[in-house]
Amino acid sequence: MVTLNDIQNRVSVLYDHAFAQRQLKIYQWMTQIQKSNSELVTQHYLGKTTENRTMYYLQISQPSDKIKKIIWMDCGIHAREWISPAFCQWFVKELLRMQRSKIKESLHHIITRKNRSPHMNGTCYGTDLNRNFNSSWGSIGVSDNCSSEIFCGSGPESEPETRAVAQFIKKKKSDILCYLTIHSYGQYILTPYGSTTRPPSNNEELMHVAEMAAAALMGKYGTSYKVGPTSLILYSNSGSSRDWAHMIGIPFSYTFELRDKGTHGFVLPPDQIQPTCEETMLAVTTIIDYVDQKYFPGGAVMLTASSLGLSLCLSVVLTWTVS
């Protein structure tokens, strides 16, 4: 069993001490959440990072003998987009109807985007995990040079972190209805694909739901999000987890790029955490509501914008990548 001490000992000296503390805090928080909500939350092993640190996911579901469908959400695949893991923590708290407490600030330098995998005899580090999935890997919007921030790795799923996520999702694929990956910044809800402008088979429906989600988000504080395929409204990229999730058959696959639009960028000030999380929550629950109604019509819709509960038929899987 991996202890917190083991994790601490393995943190690379290149990391800022405060960043390492934040990673530990997330693990500690996950354990605490699971302990205090053990009837709804289970913590599971997902895999290991390049540096052999353990990755966990939380499964949140009501006990039931019914077969469950799955909503997957990941946050923090790019470590410097720190508002993303903050949102996941917020989301979990809301989902569990926990007492609202301000997510504590911690020090955020503009830190890394990539993981810590060594290349070129340890002279260069880091693969962009969101270019490493097996979705037209290496074809566009990437670099084959390790020193680039969008280095796609030595091959599709070359990174242990990518493999851990991909294996889990492949295993549960027939039950996963929705794949959400949370990033920052830019204020977008992005639909497939980044690697081609060819629209996905369910493009109309994907866009319709995303537009509803963006409208719900905007209703809270007036924050405006753009909606559309990555390749059309942002840039071309290949090997993204969202493209891969859709390509293997998960119908509702979205990338969220949270606040802001560049004024603060990766270093969003603490007074924007709460409003960002509240408005994003509305967007996410709009999507989950739609998926719930589509696949379980006539059932009691438990997830609404203003109050959260868990559907008997949906469970939420969340993971944080803190490599």
Partner 1 sequence: GHKYHLELELEDVLDKDSTVNCTAEVLYHLGNKNIAPDVQFTLEGELKNTDEADNVFYSRIKSLEKELVAENIPDNYGNVSPEMEPIHLLAWVASGYVIWQNSTENTKFQLAQIKHVKQVKRSDEYLEFDYKILLHEMLTQEIIPWQMTVLWHPQHGVEVTQNSRQPKQASE
Binding region for partner 1 (CB under 8 A) out of 102-110, 189-197, 209-217, 300-308:
102-110
Mark residues 66-95: x for contact with partner 1 by CB under 8 A, - for none: ------------------------------
Question: Is 95 exposed, middle or buried, given 0-12, 13-18 or 19+ CB atoms closer than 10 A?
Answer: buried
Q: With beta carbons less than 8 A apart as the criterion, state whether 213 and 305 touch.
A: no
Interface with partner 1, residue 113, by CB under 8 A: yes
Applying CB under 8 A, which of residues 211, 232, 233, 265 lies at the interface with partner 1?
265
Q: Which of 63, 122, 262, 297 binds partner 1 (CB under 8 A)?
A: 262
Q: Which of 212, 264, 293, 296 binds partner 1 (CB under 8 A)?
A: 264
Pick from 11, 96, 150, 233 the residue near partner 1 by CB under 8 A: 150
Does residue number 266 form part of the binding site for partner 1 (CB under 8 A)? yes
Tokens 């019914």 sit at which residue? Answer: 66
- Are the C-beta atoms of 129 and 115 separated by less than 8 Å? yes
Burial state string for 133-154 with b = 16 or more CB within 10 A and e = fewer than 16: bbbbbbeebbeeebeeebbbbe
Among 8, 143, 154, 293, binds partner 1 (CB under 8 A): 143
Report the alpha-carbon distance of residue 128 to residue 56 in Å, rounded.
20
Among positions 204-243, residues that touch partner 1 (CB under 8 A) are: 234-235
CA 28 and chain centroid, separation:
19
Residues contacting 284, CB < 8 A, separation 6+: 73, 91, 180, 213, 256
Query: Closest separation between CB of residue 146 and partner 1, Å?
Result: 11
Cβ distance to partner 1 smaller for residue 92 or 268: 268
Distance CA 29, CA 27 (A): 5
Contacting positions for partner 1 (CB under 8 A) = 14, 105, 107-110, 112-114, 125-126, 128, 141, 143, 147-150, 186, 234-235, 262-270, 272
